[in-house]
Structure 1
Amino acid sequence: MTYFDVDWSPRFNFGGPRSINGLKGVCVHTSEGNPSITAENLANYQLTSQTGSYHVIVDLTGKRLRENTDDWVTWSSGNQGNNILLHICFTARADWTRQQWLDQSKMLRAGATVVAHWCKTYGFPVRKVDTRSLPGILGHDDTRAWGGTDHTDPGKNFPYDVFAQMVNDVLNPDAPQTPGGPVADDKLTAVHQKVTGRYKSRVPGSTYEDDMLGYIHQIDRAVFEQGQQLKRIEDLLKGGK
């Protein structure tokens, strides 16, 4: 299974060697700059500035650039995370919404091939974990528990569920599509768009416009108010007897 398209590992000489026997999982990062940056340009910046490094970078086009081999300590998180994790960085931002992530399926699928390779090679389970439940897949944000970093990437909206399914799809290409996979997620995305989309009122003369939840709230309030009115009428009728 090929897990990178471009290999720059011979160029990266900062960091240091490590044993692969103690590896515990995969850490997901975002570059936090312009998401449109190419993998080569990001790697070149890190190479010249020596301000950080990863094992693999994946850009929006799906290009996978290897910066360091698995047996090399990268400058990705605090010391503990650097020592025992494999690090993948997407050219993305931690403030992205879930939908913004899902819109970059080409990048996510390319990243899934990288993580699938690591999970197969080292026996990591394909599951979201934190530092207390390794082995598995976690984010830079999770490694703050070990100290040495205050970063919060890849952000609260990173779609770990969808990404894990993509990894499983790579590992089991002949398996039936399971709920929550790319096909199911596309359907969920369509439903989400319908629910959150805004719709104009069909009542003649009304200028009201809202999403489905807003209309449901309006119906709920109208039912409650009509119930209150009926109760008042009932009380008046009883009082007139």
Structure 2
Amino acid sequence: MAWSTRQLADLAGTTIKAIRHYHRIGLLDVPERASNGYKQYRTEHLVRLLHIRRLSDLGLPLSQIAEMSDGDSDESIRALDDELAATIERLQRVRAELALVLRHRAPTDLPAQFGPVAHNLSDADRALISVCARLFTPKTMGVIHTLAAVSDDTDRDFRGLPADADEDTIKALAARMFPVIRTLQEQHPLTEEPAAQYGTGPTSPASVVTQALADLYNPAQLRVIHHVNDLLADDADR
């Protein structure tokens, strides 16, 4: 007894279009035809079609199934399993990140851990943190998170400093910020290596951070940062 293409499709739970496609790409042998010209499928075709569907349902692409012999499926399935394991691990990390975002209502432009302190950050701060998250390790970002959580009068004055602030105002603010930053640096030293491997040119972490500061903060704020760095350097020399 033989089956028509429609009957074979129904038996295998697939479609006539799929069977014809399998014929075209060499996955399924074309059967003999009856005297009336209709294809006559037999058990061997049904078994092969069921095998194709099984491998396809497991996630193997048709191109790979076409290249497989009956005995070499183990290697392909093992490779697929490794790929799926990596995908599951990535999705689990994504779900953990999403849980933090949802729990803290964190903005998606920041690492999830910064959600609770996002309200303390200016647009420039958030942009700089986003850049740093690419450059530095999670441990270093944990220190930056601790620093970002600090919000006092000097911090608010720095964020609100106008671009045309005079030099006396700039120096006075730097003098007020210096002891706070020195204490934070002593408590949370940034001693880790960058997370990504960059060269020494314009893509080095220091160069990227310097460029980001120049692009994100106004001239008066940059002058404050410069003065604070000078005070820190003088203090270190002493």
Q: Which has the higher contact order (CA 8 A, sep 6+)?
A: 1
Quick check: which one's helix share is greater?
A: 2
Which structure's residues are more often strand, by fraction?
1
Query: Which protein shows a greater Rg?
Result: 2
* TM-score where L is the length of structure 2: 0.29
